Structure 1
Amino acid sequence: MAFDLKKEEDVKEFLENIGIEYRFGCFSERKPESCHMLGDYLEGVKKDFEKAAKVFRSNCDDSSFAKSCYKFANYNFLGKGLKQNMDEAFSYYLKGCTAGDYDSCLNGGLMCISNTPTVAQRPKDYDKGLELLDKACDGRNAFSCYYISGIFIQGVKNVIGKDMTKAFSYSLKACELGNMYACANVSQMYRKGDGVEQDVTKGEEYKKKALDMQDQMKEQMQLQFQQGTDQV
């Protein structure tokens, strides 16, 4: 059956059919991918966060589907579709990380060392936090690499010593993964010989790279703004 997606009734029927397809794939065929898409459908189309949370949790517990673990952890962290529960959030970030979702590793790591008010009741654990953040960095999560570099640039009093060699290593990796601020830090480190042998030429090279990324970001933001005004 062909749908005319310019017609409201056809759109509604199309979306209902998608929901039926996801339910069948999840509950009858027991496909973890279908269960996760069902959770996204319940969240994004039906706005039924309570049911979505149940689907994500079940898909994580029963199938170790990494993205579902991540989504259920987020629901607990935000109190979305259920009562906020930081212990559950951390537990499911760990499950997601173990299953290979590097955003879960990042968020779990941040929960270990964060000053965010919502996680203030959790004692800080820098060893575990760095372990999770490092795993996220190894999984090519640029922000995680950048965040670790910041820890070693500043150090943590009585816990982690300042280590510019490690800071440079993580900054370089974050830069290579596309983090503009990390590229700026690499530029400064090369120019000062801080954590790496001084090399003014390379300092300028990474400065240009950071500026090019900045220009690309500005162009992208301008394009998004123009697209938004066209729709008004």
Structure 2
Amino acid sequence: MSAYLRSCDEFDHAYGCYQYALHKMLGRGTPRDMQASLKYALKGCELGDMVSCQHVASLYEFGGEFGAVGIEADSQKALKYYKMSCDGGLQVSCDTYESLRQNIR
């Protein structure tokens, strides 16, 4: 797990950022920390990993509903990151984007 953190922090490897974000969300080999999950998913997204963008979107879509302590649900931010992920080619994000967009009208 520390290899993911190192690949993200030292080498700006987007996949490492996503994997570390996932580990922090699930508490796999590290204490569960949703703020850190968001931080590393944002970095992965900025580095071009569309699954990271989708992860960010889902954290904003649901906020604390699924134990994302300290993350407020924000539909507009969720839409922004689902759209980024969709534009990057992740079809599931396109579907979720459209569904969420319809539900907040």
Q: How many residues align?
A: 104
1:130 counterpart = 2:49 = no
Matching residue's letter, 1:107 = H
Structure 1 residue 129: deviation in Å? 1.6
> What corresponds to 1:109 in structure 2?
57
Q: Deviations over 1:103-150 (max 9, x none)?
A: 000011110011642226421122222111111000111111000111
> What corresponds to 2:100 in structure 1?
151
More RCO (CA 8 Å, sep 6+): 2
**Can you give the 5+ residue segments of structure 1 that lack an aligned partner in the other structure?**
1-52, 156-160, 162-232
> What corresponds to 1:139 in structure 2?
88
Taking structure 2 as the reference length, the TM-score comes to 0.91
**Can you give the 5+ residue segments of structure 2 that lack an aligned partner in the other structure?**
none
CA distance in structure 1 between the aligned counterparts of 2:69 and 2:93, rounded to whole angstroms: 21
CA distance in structure 2 between the aligned counterparts of 1:131 and 1:121, rounded to whole angstroms: 20
- State the identity as a percent: 26
> What corresponds to 1:83 in structure 2?
31
Q: Deviations over 1:147-183 (max 9, x none)?
A: 011112222xxxxx2xxxxxxxxxxxxxxxxxxxxxx
Q: In 1, are the aligned partners of 2:60 and 2:73 still within 8 Å (CA)?
A: yes
CA distance in structure 2 between the aligned counterparts of 1:120 and 1:130, rounded to whole angstroms: 20
Distance 1:75 1:87, change over 3 A: same
CA distance in structure 2 between the aligned counterparts of 1:87 and 1:106, rounded to whole angstroms: 16
Structure 1 residue 84: deviation in Å? 0.2
CA RMSD, aligned part only?
A: 1.3
Query: What does 1:58-69 align with in structure 2 at a 5 Å threshold?
Result: 58-69=6-17
Matching residue's letter, 2:95 = Y
> What corresponds to 1:94 in structure 2?
42
Query: What does 1:167-182 align with in structure 2 at a 5 Å threshold?
Result: none
Q: Which has the larger radius of gyration?
A: 1
Q: In 1, are the aligned partners of 2:25 and 2:32 still within 8 Å (CA)?
A: yes
